[in-house]
């Protein structure tokens, strides 16, 4: 099933693709746009395997009422940010950036400031 939804003002079209396999191009590439690639899984282990099974790891989202499960999954996901039962609600003090091929370094927070620093160590003996 492919569903498209027109935005206000017609500036973009949100698209949902379901019934995708782990090796489908829509799953394996990092798409910046209003696209949702849906994959059904049978277990937590399979969910982790599928989620971590790409070369990218910018952001992951977990939606569940089970806090233990959410925290367990968050520890295993290889993504720069993990959101549980919310989306993009972390403030500017929290570093943002991806893992694997989803960017280098971090923006925001102290980690972001460190990218503007050049560290030098000097050892001497007179």
Give the whole-angstrom CA distance, residue 40 versus residue 38: 7
Render pLDDT for 1-45 as a digit per residue (tens, 0 to 9): 555 555 455 566 788 999 899 999 988 988 887 888 888 899 999
pTM score, whole prediction = 0.69
Three-state DSSP class for 57?
Answer: strand
Q: What percent of the chain has pLDDT over 90?
A: 32
Query: Which residues, other chains included, contact 120 with Cβ-Cβ below 8 Å and sequence gap of 6+?
Result: none
Q: Is the pLDDT of residue 109 over 80?
A: no
Q: Which domains are seen in the chain, by residue range?
A: 2-114 (3.40.309.10)
The reported pLDDT for the residue numbered 10 is: 57
- CA torsion 23-28-33-38 (nearest 10°) is 40
Three-state DSSP class for 99?
Answer: strand
**49 or 101, which is more confident:** 49
């Amino acid at each position: 099933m492919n569903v498209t939804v027109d935005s206000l003002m017609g500036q973009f079209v949100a698209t949902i693709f379901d019934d995708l396999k782990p090796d489908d191009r829509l799953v394996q590439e990092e798409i910046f746009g209003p696209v949702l690639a849906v994959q059904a899984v049978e277990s937590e282990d399979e969910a982790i395997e599928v989620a971590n099974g790409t070369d990218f790891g910018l952001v992951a989202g977990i939606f569940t009422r089970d806090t233990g499960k959410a925290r367990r999954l968050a520890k295993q996901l290889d993504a720069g940010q993990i959101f549980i039962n919310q989306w993009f609600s972390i403030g500017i003090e929290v570093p943002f950036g991806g893992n694997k091929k989803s960017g280098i370094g971090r923006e925001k927070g102290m980690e972001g400031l460190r990218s503007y620093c050049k560290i030098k160590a000097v050892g001497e003996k007179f």
